[in-house]
Amino acid sequence: MAAKRIPTIVKKIIAEATDVHAKIRRKSKPQMKLPIRSLSNVKYRPKTGYFQLLGKNKVRTLTVGTVKTFAQTLKMLAMSKDLVETGRHSTKREAYYQAYNWAEASFVAQEESDTVMDDVEAMLGVNREQMNFRADEHGGEVAGELIVIDRDRRTGKPIEIDCTAFGSGAYSVPTVVEELKFKTSAKFILAVETKGMFERLVEEDFYDKYHCILVSMGGVPSRACRRFIRRLADDKKLPVYVFTDGDPYGYFNIYRTLKVGSGNAAHLNEYLCVPQARFLGVSPQDIIDYDLPTHPLKDVDIKRANDAMKNDPFIRHYKVWQKAIEKMLKMGVRVEQQALAKHGLEFVATKYLPEKLKQINSFLP
Amino acid sequence: MAAKRIPTIVKKIIAEATDVHAKIRRKSKPQMKLPIRSLSNVKYRPKTGYFQLLGKNKVRTLTVGTVKTFAQTLKMLAMSKDLVETGRHSTKREAYYQAYNWAEASFVAQEESDTVMDDVEAMLGVNREQMNFRADEHGGEVAGELIVIDRDRRTGKPIEIDCTAFGSGAYSVPTVVEELKFKTSAKFILAVETKGMFERLVEEDFYDKYHCILVSMGGVPSRACRRFIRRLADDKKLPVYVFTDGDPYGYFNIYRTLKVGSGNAAHLNEYLCVPQARFLGVSPQDIIDYDLPTHPLKDVDIKRANDAMKNDPFIRHYKVWQKAIEKMLKMGVRVEQQALAKHGLEFVATKYLPEKLKQINSFLP
């Protein structure tokens, strides 16, 4: 067999371990350096387009008090190396149970092993999927003008998955998307909040008529879904338009998370967020323009909106977002994307989206 | 164009409407008959294998007091007829918004329109998916030795979807599966609780080695997921084995719902439940046999288990289930399916499942 290329992640792990080993041989205290993971160590950088770490680190030195965590961190690195080398992936839950055999270094609860995994992730400056760890979550669904190139595990050969060939079904995105490649002639990606709206657009042949790729996020997009959109958009230089309910949950929990990431996982935003995303709708202005039925804002909606106006670095950066939120608060209502069905089931596909797509410059940033 | 076959559901709707129309012409009061939807009108029938209606009906007569609901029910029937004839589907949310144009018959809230949809469903004795209504939910994922035959909406031609050809991804089941057809040489269906375990088995080439179809339910299976498994199992005469966590949630909320359905939707169990399902594991006995790490039962687990022993007609019917639950309560612990990873990531695929599959007769009913 030809000499195999050592994956970057394995090189990083070996470098960390070699450093610790060398220090021990020199009888000095080994150290591990980890970025501090909190909002205090985060800044919104409009240029790169997401929350970024400010660079404050904590240093973990091997002492009597840290010996268990230190050992766990090294064991977790070893587990990751093993996974990458065997081509396997492990969920967080599985990692926790595998660690049952670490004797004194085993974990008391899964929260403990999750924290160590987060530490390792931040330490190496990668997302855990690159270390062959994965979350146990739904990765989103895809239909449209896209061919995903994956690998057949049995033969090792590339396989092409044609996302126009699923009929009324869809391609379900795996939890780890690092190795996927893409072929497409689509003009944009349309990320949709609900499965119901996704299936509406599939049923209306929307992706055919407008040459796009539809992604169903199923509420707040999972890591895999965000990473999938990001990799696809980067690789194929595609714009990303986001279509959610017109309420604080759609604006902040879904859109904001997709675009710039979140504060407590800032070390990952580099990989997981989609800075090229723009907000298509449903906007507060759409309620007026399209005469849409609404529901009154709930107390929690109002609180969430006021919080964002005050504290969210992303909203505070964009005047147009502040104006949109102010308009929503003044109108006192929220709107669901399905409200467009008032004008007929096909309205969203034949009128609303086509009209919006003619004025992309008016999308919220 | 050749004369089109009138779909059964449209015939049923026309029959209902004709009846109402004739009564009005005769100047007598039109009536609609609906089965009572509650546990008091339900029985567990081991022979058919699911909760069934006892046959008590309520009769809705057109009066001043019922005129609005009466009108809404007829309009809902008309909407369904229109959907079936145009080949469109409508979510419950979309149906609610379409009804904004029903003037005095429009709904005040979505709960109202959902209730009328449930009424119509029970009245016609069909599941709402047959009326081209659909829920806005995730339909489950599939990988393995199965070809799904769907229809290309643009050309109307059948398309074959090969569920072995998605690499690390999967086929995402649409919310309406009524028209799907299947080709398979698989020996059984394995329905799995978590996406993580599903991906583990895909990664271990399990479906290849054991000639099966893997379905990820993602927790409590959605209507679409249940209906998909049921139609596939009926059509291809396949046994269905279920693999969940070993806790009351896995036993009752997931397995029991999949197999016999639930009480408050008894008029649907005929279509949605999977009577051929059998419980593979993880069972309380497996904890001992495979030396698995556990967690203590939570109070809510204990309450749920005691409730089921006392009130659940399904559990009360099966001594072996009662014994299993008693064993769990006595041991005081629950177990996650990922606990098998203690013996190595591949253990579930190379040892646990193969051993269990050799003694299918010992599966819980």
pLDDT digits (tens, 9 = 90+) for A255-287: 999 998 876 666 777 888 999 999 998 999 999
Q: Give the pLDDT score at A293.
A: 93
At A1 the pLDDT is: 42
Our answer to whether residue A255 is catalytic in this structure is no
Tokens of B345: 């990531």
| Mean pLDDT for all residues in chain A | 90
Distance, in Å, from the CA atom of B96 to the CA atom of B92, rounded to the nearest integer, reads 6
For residues A210 and A208, give the distance between their C-alpha atoms in angstroms, rounded to a whole number.
Answer: 6
Q: Report pLDDT for B39.
A: 62
Number of C-beta neighbours around residue B317 at 10 A: 14
Q: Report percent pLDDT > 70 for chain A.
A: 96
Amino acid, single-letter form, for residue A193: E
pLDDT of residue B4: 65
Beta bridge partners of A206: none
Please state, as a whole number, how many other Cβ atoms lie within 10 Å of the Cβ of residue A264.
13
Q: Looking at the predicted structure, is the pLDDT value of residue A120 above 80? A: yes
Cα dist from B127 to A364, B28, B158, B263, whole Å: 41, 30, 24, 15
Q: Which residues in A lie closer than 8 A to residue B144 (C-beta atoms)?
A: none
Catalytic residue chosen out of the listed positions B44, B96, B97, B171? B97
List A97, A100, A207, A352, catalytic entry: A97
Q: Shortest Cα distance from A42 to chain B (angstroms)?
A: 31
Residue at B35: amino acid letter: P
Tell me the pairing of strands B212-216 and B277-281. unpaired
Subunit contact A171:B174, Cβ cutoff 8 A? no
Counting as low any pLDDT under 50, the low residues of chain B are 1-2
H-helix or E-strand containing A84? helix A67-86
Structure confidence by residue, pLDDT tens digits, A326-350: 999 999 999 999 999 999 999 999 9
- Are B196 and A136 inside 8 Å of each other by CB? yes
**Contact indicator for B335, B342 with CB cutoff of 8 Å:** no
Task: Say which amino acid occupies B245.
Answer: D
Contacts of A152 in chain B (CB under 8 A): 167
DSSP bridge partners of A216: A141, A192
User: How far is Cα A249 from Cα A280, in angstroms, rounded to an integer?
Assistant: 15
Query: What pLDDT is recorded for position B250?
Result: 96
Tens of pLDDT along A72-86?
Answer: 999 999 999 999 998
* B93 with A205: Cβ contact below 8 A: no
> What is the per-residue pLDDT for B263?
63
pLDDT at residue A47 greater than cutoff 90: no
**Whether A150 and B141 lie within 8 Å, measured CB to CB:** no
Q: Which of A97, A175, A341 sits opposite B97 (nearest CB)?
A: A341
B34 phi and psi angles, rounded to 5 deg: -130, 135
Q: Is the pLDDT of residue A3 over 60?
A: no
Query: Residue B28 carries which DSSP code?
Result: S
pLDDT at site B60: 84
User: A253: buried, middle or exposed (CB in 10 Å: 19+, 13-18, 0-12)?
Assistant: middle
pLDDT per position as a tens digit, A220-239: 999 899 999 999 999 999 99
Q: Is the pLDDT of residue A188 over 50?
A: yes
pLDDT tier, A49 (very low <50, low <70, confident <90, very high otherwise): confident
Q: What is residue B38's predicted lDDT score, i.e. its pLDDT?
A: 66
Using one digit for the tens of pLDDT, what is the confidence trace for A285-301? 999 999 999 999 999 99
Task: List CB contacts (< 8 A) between B348 and chain A.
Answer: none
Q: CB-hemisphere CA count at 13 Å for B343? A: 15
Measured CA to CA, the distance from residue A289 to residue A355 in angstroms comes to 11
Q: Which residue has the higher pLDDT, A93 or A51?
A: A93
What residue type is assigned to position B250 of the chain?
G
Q: Rounded CA gap, A154 and A150, in Å?
A: 12
d(CA A168, CA A25): 62
Of B90, B203, B341, the CB nearest to A97: B341
Q: Is the pLDDT of residue A52 over 90?
A: no
Across residues A192-214, what is the average pLDDT?
Answer: 95
pTM across the whole model: 0.87
pLDDT at res. A99: 92
- Residues belonging to chain B: 365
Q: How many CB pairs under 8 A join A and B?
A: 176
Q: What are the tokens at B47? A: 């022979």
Answer whether A12's CB lies under 8 Å from A126's CB. yes
CA distance B182 to chain A (A): 14
Ranked by mean pLDDT, which of A4-8, A121-125, A139-143 comes out on top? A139-143
Cis ω on the peptide bond leading into residue A282 (within 30° of 0)? yes
Per the model's pLDDT, the better-predicted residue between A192 and B125 turns out to be: A192
> Nearest 5°: phi and psi at A161?
-110, 115
B280 phi and psi, to 5 degrees? -80, -45
Rounded to a whole number of angstroms, the distance from the CA of A19 to the nearest CA of chain B is 29
